[in-house]
Amino acid sequence: MAGRWSARRGRKVERATLTITALGVYEAFLNDRRVGKFVMAPGWTSYDTRLQVQTYDVTGLLGAENALRVRGGKGWYASPIPGWLKSADKTRRKNRQTALIAELLIRYEGGEAELIATGEDWQWVESPIRFSEIYDGETCDAGFVDDAPKPCALFDAPMDNLIPQEGEEVREMERVEAKRVFTTPAGDTVVDFGQEVTGYVEFRVDAHAGDRVRILHGEVLDRDGNFYNENYRSAKAEINYTCREGAQTWHPELTFFGFRYIKLDAFPGTPAPEQFTAIAVYSDMRQIGHVRTGHAGVNQLISNVFWGQKGNFLDVPTDCPQRDERLGWTGDAEVFVRAASLNYDVERFFLKWLKDMTADRFPDGSVGSVIPNVLPGDRPSAAWGDAATICPWTIWQTYGNIEVLENQYDTMAGWVDAITGMTTTPNLWTGGTHFADWLGLDAPSGSYKGSTREDFIASAFYAHSTSLVIRAGRLLGRDVSRYEALYDAIVLAFRATFTDYRTQTEHILAVRFGLAEDVQATADALAEMVVRDGTQLRTGFVGTPHILHVLSEYGHADLAWSLLLREQYPSWLYPVSKGATTIWEHWDGIMEDGGFWSADMNSFNHYAYGSVIDWIYEVAAGIRHDEAHPGFSRAIVAPTPDARLGWLEASIDTRNGRISSKWNYGAEGVRYEIDTPVPATLVIDGRATEVGPGSYTLWGRA
């Protein structure tokens, strides 16, 4: 769509702003210069009730004669999401009309103003981008010109869903140059970027008009070294580009892919690595956490966690960026939120997404499995819907800004009330459909669900969510007496019902959520069980984020370290030994014999198990938040060193300054260096010292 006009003669422009949004995705160009850096604007929200509007300062882009051109695509709004489901709801969304609304406000010196707004006097032409969609990719005919502008039609849409931009803008954040171009045993030409990224490929090519480029995306090679992307399922994830004459550089503009490899199905000339760059596109969040260690495998794991977050924080916290899914799964976000909030400043990112959660609640106040909710017929699952309480609480604890609790309190309390209304047994959560300890290693053959009892998980999270509602409510001055009574009743019922713990995850939850009558004995029993299991994890999405915390908190730090440093399957370092550059969905996405776990559900960029990095910050480096002092206005630094690592350095740029912790094994013991900008409790070898802000060097036992 385009509009043209002349600036008022002889008038100096003081400021010009473009206010714009779309049903779909858009990029705007004022006088052929791109407006802003937001990729995939206006982002992804629960569009029916919340559509973000962006405002850009375009003063510097104005001339005497002006043309505003906006290119639109389907984006999340009109793509067939989720790809794997057949539903009338999806078809309805896929066929929705895309649309654009914009106004340019020019303020001249002296107070006069001019408003140029989209309307019937605007015109549209067909774009060289012939096709674009979230899962299937983009098709561009660079030589295509439509020189027959047509008048725009007015589209009657409700406007009460328009809201100002709330989240971080998605931007082109990093460029990763191709490492090599090679021919596979099957004869395909493949480019390897050496790193899995989410975004798109930029290529440079000297070609004749009409030459074709066809690019397919993949995350891994198969055991024979061949290109593989069956795990993208129905997502075609391809680029089709028709060249114009001469040298040209191009990348997709209205979609994204998750990939490390690309297959050049068609490409003019002999491709060389210098012709390809992967552009990583993600929400513009500031990195605040840093960790380095003396262990190459752990360092790669840490890098994989960061890349997992970058690849899945593209406006919404998603499960994965590549297959016909890429949804805001609540369970995955709940599992990873602590880690996410220490790696990057994600307060704004979560403030926005949590408001979508509120908007998409079911009528009974319960929260579904994906936000924005695009799953018709979805029902709430324990540990997924509990994102309603866990995410706001974590964001509050990390950043110390009460706004998130003020915004979300009703949704938090509503979630607990909904469980109370849904359950088949008073004071426990029984019945319902749950994802259980998803992908747990103790799953019976053929099942995705670990062996931990569903009622156990659901009731444990019911207790935990209730306790978070109480804590949040007290801070906000709400009457929480009803929840206090409920919490006590849940704990009693839980203890009376679950008198034994059968799996690793059952032990973990009973300790972590304070439900076991004897937490020390339960943690000891967990340690014994882990050793009996071969010093191996048997956990899935629900147990894994907490297992190391539970072990180290109750005197089994050495065992926690052994789990972290284990390299054989199953372990965090096993994928690293297989060359992973992001976190895998399955502990054995690539099996020991080089085969794949499956084609139907095997993502190589799923951040959930990357939650282990919060243990590295909080226990290994020991930089802990103190619940009574959110935002790290006071700190606890209690490092837990391990000689197998040699050394570790970590820091977090908190809202109160940088807290850093280093330890290093030397001949005379362990040397600690701690910097704190806030009063802190330093705990070395179990001895606590209260200190003021400053830098401290201490020595401890090796």
Binding residues for ligand BGC, rule: CB under 6 A, are: 319-320, 325, 329, 331-332, 435, 438, 601, 606
Euclidean distance between CA atoms 215 and 336, whole angstroms: 32
The Cα–Cα gap between 181 and 271 comes to: 7
Shortest Å, Cβ 329 to ligand BGC: 4
Q: Can you tell me the distance from the alpha carbon of 23 to that of 360, in angstroms, rounded to the nearest whole number?
A: 18
Q: Minimum distance from CB of 325 to ligand BGC (Å)?
A: 6
Closest CA to 216 of 232, 234, 239: 239
Q: Which of 386, 391, 545 is nearest to 463 (CA)?
A: 386
Angle subtended at Cα 581 by Cα 578 and Cα 583, rounded to the nearest 5 degrees: 90
- On whether the CB atoms of residues 443 and 450 are closer than 8 A, the answer is yes
Nearer to ligand BGC, 90 or 624 (CB): 90
**Please, which residue, 25 or 601, has the CB nearer to ligand BGC?**
601
**For ligand BGC, the closer CB: 310 or 624:** 310
The stretches of 360-429 forming alpha helices (DSSP H) are 387-399, 403-422
Q: For ligand BGC, which is the closer residue by CB, 101 or 320?
A: 320
H or E element: which one contains 385?
none
| Catalytic site includes residue 673 | no
Instruction: Please give the residue whose beta carbon sits closest to ligand BGC in the complex.
Output: 319
Which amino acid would we find at residue 582? Answer: T
Q: What's the half-sphere exposure (Cβ side, CA atoms, 13 Å) at 519?
A: 15
Least distance between ligand BGC and beta carbon 390 (Å): 14
- 458 token code pair: 């659901």
Helix locations, 38-162, DSSP H: 88-94
Distance between CA atoms of 336 and 256, rounded to whole angstroms?
Answer: 22
DSSP 662-678: EEEEETTEEEEEEEESS
Least distance (Å) between residue 315 CB and ligand BGC: 17
State which residue, 341 or 369, has the beta carbon closest to ligand BGC.
Answer: 369
Q: How far is CA 371 from the centre of its chain?
A: 12
**Minimum CB distance to ligand BGC, residue 383 (Å):** 9
Nearer to ligand BGC, 320 or 636 (CB): 320
CA-based nearest residue to 457, from 519, 385, 514, 542: 542
Whose CA is closest to 378, among 17, 690, 90, 664?
Answer: 90
For ligand BGC, give the closer residue by CB, 271 or 331.
Answer: 331
Residue 506, CA distances (Å) to 154, 425, 515, 545 in order = 58, 19, 10, 13
Tell me which residue of 354, 419, 362 sits closest to 388, measured CA to CA.
Answer: 354
**Site of tokens 């849409």:** 157
The phi and psi torsions of 193 (rounded to 5 degrees) equal: -90, -5
DSSP conformational letter for 592: T
Least Cβ distance, residue 351 to ligand BGC (angstroms)? 22
Q: Which is nearer to ligand BGC, 135 or 193 (CB)?
A: 135
Q: How far apart are CA 702 and CA 696, in angstroms?
A: 18
Supply φ then ψ for residue 124, to 5 degrees. Answer: -135, 150
690 flagged as catalytic: no
What one-letter code names the amino acid at 482?
R
Q: Please identify which of the residues 138, 334, 454, 585 carries the catalytic annotation.
A: 585
Task: State the Cα–Cα distance between residues 694 and 243, nearest whole angstrom.
Answer: 60
Name the minimum Å distance from CB 247 to ligand BGC: 41
For the CB of residue 380, give the shortest distance to ligand BGC in the complex, in Å.
12
Q: Which is nearer to ligand BGC, 241 or 435 (CB)?
A: 435
Q: What CA–CA distance (Å, rounded) separates 521 from 687? A: 23
Per DSSP, helices labelled H in 224-295 are none
Residue from 196, 253, 325, 618 carrying the catalytic annotation: 325
Of the pair 415, 438, the CB lying nearest ligand BGC is at 438
Shortest Cβ 602–ligand BGC spacing (Å): 10
Which residues are catalytic, by number? 325, 585
